[in-house]
């Protein structure tokens, strides 16, 4: 057990999928895993371990934002021996070529600030995905016929942003979408020699202001979970 994860030794798999929402972790475990067992309920941040096609998998909620994600990623890697961490979550599209329900596979994650900023001081570290995971995620998505975009995203440290100038500049540089966790996940994984990837479903659009109704999000997120599992075990 750790401060934030109540799982016993051996109850966390080496491969962990990390949605922000603990109830999305519950939904994904019940939908995609066989014999899923709840291994964590501390602070309501649910975690489940089961199998997918014979492979052992944990799906652990990470909370919202990089500080929360950083806590869980650090403890999963350092205390439970997790070696592959894949964020599955929602994102807001920043380009007119990206549509609702599309899947974004994040090659890099730009950010203004993360909890790891103090480690680097003046250094501008470039958080990037594990190439092997990214390559297999693309292959899994193509096999499913899912519309995907591969490239850079922006990990914001605030939800209610009031920087239209920053949004415009990021879009000008080809940033596909915005979310709130991947940059720190990539950084923590790199620090500890683990593999990381973010596979994201576009749930809303910063340009058109479209958004998926809550009932549609669950159905649309299925492709993302299957792509993440394909990346881990393909």
- The verdict on whether residue 43 carries a ligand-binding annotation is yes
- The verdict on whether residue 24 carries a ligand-binding annotation is yes
Are 178 and 156 in contact by the 8 Å Cβ rule? The answer is yes
- The verdict on whether residue 181 carries a ligand-binding annotation is yes
Token digits for 107? 């090659």
- The verdict on whether residue 180 carries a ligand-binding annotation is yes
- The verdict on whether residue 149 carries a ligand-binding annotation is no
CB neighbourhood size of 202 (10 A): 26
User: What three-state secondary structure class fits 134?
Assistant: helix
Residues 158 and 234: their CA atoms lie apart, in Å, by: 34
Task: Pick the closest to residue 78 from 155, 156, 16 (CA basis).
Answer: 16
- The verdict on whether residue 66 carries a ligand-binding annotation is no
Residues noted as catalytic: 204
- The verdict on whether residue 88 carries a ligand-binding annotation is yes
Residues 6 and 75: their CA atoms lie apart, in Å, by: 11
123 sits in the region (left: phi over 0; alpha: psi -120 to 50; else beta) called beta
Residue 38 C-alpha from the chain's centroid: 20
Query: What number of CA atoms fall less than 13 Å from residue 71's CA on the CB side?
Result: 16
- The verdict on whether residue 203 carries a ligand-binding annotation is yes
- The verdict on whether residue 184 carries a ligand-binding annotation is no
Question: Can you say whether the dihedral through the CA atoms of 98, 101, 107, 113 is positive or negative?
Answer: positive
- The verdict on whether residue 4 carries a ligand-binding annotation is yes
For the chain, the first-to-last Cα distance in angstroms comes to 31
- The verdict on whether residue 147 carries a ligand-binding annotation is no
Are 87 and 198 in contact by the 8 Å Cβ rule? The answer is yes
Please give the annotated binding residues for a purine D-ribonucleoside, written as ranges: 4, 179-181, 203-204
Please give the annotated binding residues for phosphate, written as ranges: 20, 24, 43, 87-90
Please give the annotated binding residues, written as ranges: 4, 20, 24, 43, 87-90, 179-181, 203-204
């Amino acid at each position: 057990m750790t401060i934030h994860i109540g799982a016993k030794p051996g109850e966390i798999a080496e491969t962990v999928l990390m949605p922000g929402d603990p109830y999305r972790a519950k939904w994904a475990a019940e939908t995609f895993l066989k014999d899923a067992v709840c291994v964590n309920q501390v602070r309501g941040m649910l975690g489940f371990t089961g199998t997918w096609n014979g492979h052992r998998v944990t799906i652990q909620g990470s909370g919202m934002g990089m500080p929360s994600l950083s806590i869980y990623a650090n403890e999963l890697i350092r205390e439970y021996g997790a070696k592959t961490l894949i964020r599955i979550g929602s994102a807001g599209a920043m380009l007119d070529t990206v549509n609702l329900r599309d899947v974004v596979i994040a090659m890099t994650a730009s950010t203004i600030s993360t909890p790891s900023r103090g480690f680097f001081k003046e250094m501008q570290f470039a958080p990037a995905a594990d190439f092997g995971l990214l390559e297999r995620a693309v292959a899994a998505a193509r096999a499913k016929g899912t519309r995907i975009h591969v490239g850079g995203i922006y990990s914001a440290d605030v939800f209610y942003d009031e920087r239209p100038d920053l949004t415009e500049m990021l879009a000008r540089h080809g940033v596909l979408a915005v979310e709130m966790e991947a940059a720190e996940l990539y950084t923590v994984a790199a620090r500890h020699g683990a593999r990381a990837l973010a596979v994201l479903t576009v749930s809303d659009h910063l340009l058109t202001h479209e958004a998926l109704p809550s009932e549609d999000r669950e159905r649309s997120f299925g492709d993302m979970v299957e792509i993440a599992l394909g990346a881990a075990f393909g």
